[in-house]
């Protein structure tokens, strides 16, 4: 539940810190005092869009912080952990929202930067806000469906149906596309098959390409290689002035005189090494020369192979080295085409997906049917206490001609304001006052079945009064026994039913720091004790002039609610 709310520089609130308790809390005050600002601030920190108009005049930024107790919300704790948004205190969740004077907004969850969608997700787990215009939304079919699904606690099944429907429709579109493009498919399939066959028969590899280039380069320059090799062998060892012979002559001369000076031994050793190296080079060159046999057929074969590879690469407009990758890509395209182009297979898959959808949708219908019966009975009992004696409320499940993402039926709220009248769609029969009462009854009933711990009602009692207003107060008090309930109200009967009572007031002061001496407006909230509460209820009953009789009436209302609780 909501434990603490801190508001700074928001609209006409300079600074406000509120501690919340369980049960039913009412907020009252003069019109324009800023009661709805509390709801607006809470909505902002729960992910509603913000803008610069919400920043208090003369301030740089507005800041809202809300602390929630979530120790009983294992699902939310798991979600926070999965999204790395957990806090140091695992039993608490701190939401924070900042809007600066330029309209830029920042959001935080437990000190971690967060998106507005993440704030909204957390907010859906923690708070349900019912505005004074909620009864207008009740006329929309989507809102009626969402209320029934919330009452039935079947949101997960709704998502399963939606997912199954989307998968079914995806396969249906694939099948239809396949049927339309069957001729194109056959042509494309033949083309890809031919291209893959040609590249496969080419049997090209990068290693082969490197070998071909090396062999072709060698055979193309065979005459020059032979000439250079023969010359090297001749100069090194075979002509009259061969290098090897000259080295040996010099070495022998030095050996004859080395006994006279041992320093020549180093040169002799180096010449010996050189003689060995030259001899080894001659052996290697002779072996190389023997391998340089000219094979015209082999050279021709290499040239034909290289030519075939070049022609294939040019035909596909790729570099020679890219041919293996091209074969891989074409093979993948053919595989994808065969998977998507198999009409028979796609038809079978579509039928299976449709069957899976039907199975999920029927489960949802069963859940809705059971919940609709219970909801109809509960809301009927509730509206009969709200000045609609003999009235009946019903949730109808109307089968759809064509199945949809939200199931096999459309949800329609129906009502008969009197016992003698037939049930008709809510939008066609309910007057403004009746619609307001029915809406409140549905919201209270739906709230009891939900898992959200905190409910906020913003003047949902508009258009009612007298005995009905007293019953509304009892309904909200009853809801407060199992949920945390906050309600902004102008009705003394509702205010008297609260477990806690806050008064919202507004004041004006001169801004002496401003050269124009402008007036600054401040909104503040006061927690009322028993005496102050009598005065506030009396004000709501009697208006400007509060008499002793009015105070007595207010005290009786409070005492009556206290005894009933």
> What is the torsional sign of CA 285, 290, 294, 299?
negative
For 347-369, b where at least 16 C-beta lie within 10 A, e where not — what string? Answer: eebbeebbebbeebbeebbebbe
Closest CA to 165 of 397, 404, 409, 408: 404
Over residues 393-427, the pLDDT tens digits come to 999 999 999 999 999 999 999 988 788 888 998 87
For 501-520, b where at least 16 C-beta lie within 10 A, e where not — what string? Answer: bbbbebeeeeeeeeeeeeeb
Distance CA 424, CA 436 (A): 17
Model confidence, pTM: 0.60
State the pLDDT at residue 61: 93
What does each C-alpha distance from 516 to 9, 12, 512 come to in angstroms?
Answer: 21, 19, 8
State the pLDDT at residue 564: 63
Distance CA 476, CA 303 (A): 94
The DSSP code for 236 is I
Distance CA 272, CA 274 (A): 5
State the pLDDT at residue 515: 43
What are the residue ranges spanned by the domains of the chain? 1-132+459-527, 186-340, 529-565
State the pLDDT at residue 132: 61
Domain 1-132+459-527 has CATH 3.40.50.300: yes
Closest CA to 372 of 434, 428, 414: 414
Q: Give the distance, in angstroms, between the CA of residue 488 and the centroid of all CA atoms in the same chain.
A: 34
Distance CA 468, CA 118 (A): 39
Distance CA 254, CA 232 (A): 27
The phi, psi pair for 255, rounded to 5°, reads -70, -30
- Tens-digit pLDDT string for the chain (565 aa): 899 999 999 988 888 889 999 999 999 988 777 778 888 899 999 998 889 999 998 899 999 999 999 888 888 888 898 999 988 777 889 999 999 999 899 999 999 999 999 999 898 888 888 776 656 667 788 888 988 998 898 988 999 999 999 999 999 998 888 777 666 777 787 888 898 998 888 888 888 888 888 877 777 666 677 778 778 887 888 887 888 888 888 888 888 888 888 888 888 889 889 888 988 988 888 877 777 665 667 777 888 888 888 898 898 899 988 898 998 888 888 887 776 557 788 889 999 999 999 999 999 999 999 999 999 999 998 888 877 788 899 999 999 999 999 999 999 999 887 888 889 988 787 566 677 777 778 877 877 766 678 888 887 666 677 788 888 888 888 888 888 999 988 899 999 999 999 998 887 765 555 444 455 667 788 899 999 999 999 998 876 678 888 899 999 988 877 666 5
* Type and span of the H or E element at 119: helix 116-126
């Amino acid at each position: 539940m909501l434990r603490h709310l801190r508001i700074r520089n928001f609209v006409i609130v300079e600074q406000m810190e509120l501690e919340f308790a369980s049960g039913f809390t009412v907020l009252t005050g003069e019109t324009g005092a800023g009661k709805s600002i509390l709801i607006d601030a809470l909505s902002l920190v729960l992910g509603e869009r913000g803008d610069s108009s919400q920043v208090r005049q003369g301030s740089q930024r507005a800041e809202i912080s809300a602390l929630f107790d979530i120790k009983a919300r294992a699902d939310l704790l798991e979600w926070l952990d999965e999204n790395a948004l957990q806090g140091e205190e695992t039993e608490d969740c701190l939401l924070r929202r900042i809007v600066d004077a330029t309209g830029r907004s920042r959001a935080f969850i437990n000190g971690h930067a967060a998106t507005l969608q993440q704030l909204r997700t957390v907010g859906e787990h923690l708070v349900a806000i019912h505005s004074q215009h909620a009864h207008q939304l009740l006329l929309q079919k989507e809102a009626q469906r969402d209320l029934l699904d919330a009452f039935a606690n079947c949101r997960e099944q709704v998502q399963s149906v939606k997912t199954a429907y989307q998968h079914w429709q995806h396969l249906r579109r694939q099948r239809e596309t396949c049927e339309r493009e069957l001729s194109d498919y056959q042509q494309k399939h033949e083309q890809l098959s031919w291209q893959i066959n040609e590249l496969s028969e080419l049997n090209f590899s990068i290693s082969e390409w490197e070998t071909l280039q090396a062999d072709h380069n060698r055979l193309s320059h065979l005459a020059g290689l032979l000439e250079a090799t023969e010359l090297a062998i001749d100069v090194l060892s075979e002509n009259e002035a061969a290098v090897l012979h000259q080295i040996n002559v010099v070495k022998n001369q030095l050996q004859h005189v080395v006994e006279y000076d041992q320093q020549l031994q180093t040169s002799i050793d180096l010449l010996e090494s050189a003689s060995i190296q030259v001899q080894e080079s001659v052996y290697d060159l002779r072996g190389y020369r023997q391998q340089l046999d000219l094979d015209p057929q082999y050279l021709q074969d290499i040239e034909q192979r290289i030519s075939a590879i070049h022609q294939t690469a040019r035909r596909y407009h790729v570099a020679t080295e890219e041919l293996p990758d091209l074969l891989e890509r074409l093979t993948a395209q053919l595989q994808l085409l065969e998977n998507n182009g198999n009409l028979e297979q796609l038809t079978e898959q579509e039928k299976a997906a449709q069957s899976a959808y039907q199975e999920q949708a029927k489960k949802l219908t069963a859940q809705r049917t059971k919940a609709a019966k219970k909801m109809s009975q509960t809301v009927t009992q509730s509206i009969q206490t709200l000045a609609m004696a003999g009235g009946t409320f019903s949730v109808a499940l109307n089968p759809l001609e064509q199945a949809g993402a939200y199931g096999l039926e459309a949800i329609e709220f129906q009502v008969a304001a009197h016992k003698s009248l037939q049930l008709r769609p809510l939008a066609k029969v309910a007057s403004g006052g009746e619609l307001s009462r029915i809406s409140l009854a549905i919201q209270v009933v739906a709230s009891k079945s939900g898992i959200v711990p905190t409910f906020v009602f913003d003047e949902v009692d508009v258009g009612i009064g007298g005995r009905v207003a007293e019953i509304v107060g009892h309904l909200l008090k009853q809801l407060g026994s199992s949920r945390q309930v906050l309600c902004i109200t102008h009705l003394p009967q509702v205010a008297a039913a609260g477990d806690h009572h806050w008064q919202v007031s507004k004041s004006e002061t001169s801004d002496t720091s401003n050269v124009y001496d402008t007036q600054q407006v401040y909104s503040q909230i006061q927690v009322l004790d028993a005496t102050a509460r009598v005065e506030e209820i009396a004000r709501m009953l009697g208006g400007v002039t509060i008499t002793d009789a009015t105070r007595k009436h207010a005290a009786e209302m409070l005492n009556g609610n206290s005894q009933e609780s």
